[in-house]
Amino acid sequence: MDFSFTAEQTQLRRSIIEFAERELGDAAESDRAARLNRDAWKKCAEFGITGWPVPKAYGGAGLDPVTIAVGLEALGYGCRDNGLVFALNNHLWACTVYLVEHGTEEQKARFLPGLADGSLIGAHALTEPESGSDVLGMKTTAERHGDTYVLRGTKTFISNAPVADVFLTFARTGSEDSPAAGALSAFVVTADLPGFRVSRSWEKAGLRSTEMGQVEFDECRVPAANLLGAEGNGFNLFTSSIDWERSVLFASQIGVMERVLDDCVEHVRRRRQFGKPLGAQQAVRHRIADMKVRLELARLAMYKAAWRKREGHLAPLDAAIAKLAISESHLRSMLDAVQLHGARGYLTEFGVERELRDALAGTIYGGTSEIQRDIVAGLLGVPSS
């Protein structure tokens, strides 16, 4: 098993870290403003990040999943604005990749160039007020009327919603007595359609520069040409594409974990207590060692899932394991970072507490830790009833 990067991947990693550290601005200000840094988004788009998984024929870079994971890990390391990185990840894995994998040629030609160059921002409209993890319990409906579908319902906690142009949206097209898995369909909904509106924005504890909102479909007429895949095949599209969100999306968190670990090592080497470096204390040394172990194990889980996607396999088990391992390791390591910095870790001035706040949501979005454990158990053959 060869875990080394190619020369091209090594160069990509180096160039992204240099770009991010030089160009991507003040994370503290973005956090305070709770707004997407549009200038930084534009710079990322010009660098090519918004088009990494998009084929070259549609204006993207056509990178393979492992190379994208290398790039996103480097972005997480170099960019301290975790909300900006999360907004980019949502754009890529919750919207763009669905069109890459399932769009018709007409849909790809219409939407992918704008998504690839960052002039369009993507979002994923799945969660509803009464259904999050229970995807099949959604209430939003789509009814066919000639050459349009009329959508009615509400989607909430939608990342990028206040700034997005394109929403990958799921709705119920089957009747009440239809088999649940065959009752859902996917649509490409643009923000300029009549009957569509962002009804509110949500304030969050972390990842504040990823704007979050609620969207309403009030007799929203969506062209039938915007149906993604076949009617009734929405759940299959979701389950085949969620692997991306549960694996490669979390590559950036690997980069964050490494960056914060490097900061902690420097801190415990420089900070002196009781007449010697803080790192000379065994309790401190062990905490640092645990952070490194979590980082390396999480990295291996993520690259295994990315490798399986590159080879063209479905990877529900690997993606669930990667998502669970990375999100929980990230959160635990950020708690350790706060503890290692003491009072400085708790104060907003030093940025460590922001890293903790940004890590909190990782065990929730993309399927909670509990859902990931349930997926793993189910794929191992453990009965659920």
Among 163, 198, 232, identify where a domain stops. 232
pLDDT of residue 180: 62
Distance (Å, rounded) from C-alpha 70 to C-alpha 81? 18
362 and 289 within one domain: yes
78 and 32 within one domain: yes
221 and 128 within one domain: yes
Query: Is 182's pLDDT higher than 80?
Result: no
End-to-end alpha carbon distance in the chain:
39
What average pLDDT does range 121-143 have in this prediction? 91
Distance (Å, rounded) from C-alpha 267 to C-alpha 337? 10
Instruction: Give the bridge partners for 340, in sequence order.
Output: none
219 and 142 within one domain: yes
pLDDT of residue 385: 80
pLDDT of residue 164: 98
Catalytic annotation, pick one of 128, 211, 216, 245:
245
The fraction of the chain above a pLDDT of 70, given in percent, is 98
pLDDT of residue 318: 93
54: DSSP letter:
S
pLDDT of residue 3: 80
Q: Which domain holds residue 362?
A: 247-379
Per-residue pLDDT tens digits for 340-359:
999 999 999 999 999 999 99
Q: Does any domain span residue 312?
A: yes
221 and 262 within one domain: no
Q: Does any domain span residue 239?
A: no
pLDDT of residue 132: 80
Residue 245 annotated as catalytic:
yes
164 and 79 within one domain: no
Distance (Å, rounded) from C-alpha 332 to C-alpha 258? 13
Q: Rounded to the nearest 10 degrees, how much is the dihedral formed by the CA atoms of 321, 324, 327, 332?
A: -110
pLDDT of residue 241: 81
Q: Does any domain span residue 303?
A: yes
**How many domains does one find in the chain?**
3
147 and 107 within one domain: no
Provide the CATH number for the domain around residue 223. 2.40.110.10
Distance (Å, rounded) from C-alpha 323 to C-alpha 250? 7
Band of pLDDT at residue 23, cut at 50, 70 and 90: very high
What average pLDDT does range 24-45 have in this prediction? 94
How much is the CA Rg of the chain, to the nearest whole Å?
21
pTM value?
A: 0.94
Provide the CATH number for the domain around residue 258. 1.20.140.10
pLDDT of residue 178: 63
374 and 251 within one domain: yes
pLDDT of residue 135: 84
Q: What are the distances in angstroms from CA 310 to CA 244, 313, 319?
A: 11, 8, 13
CA-wise closest residue to 78 among 25, 33, 137, 129: 25
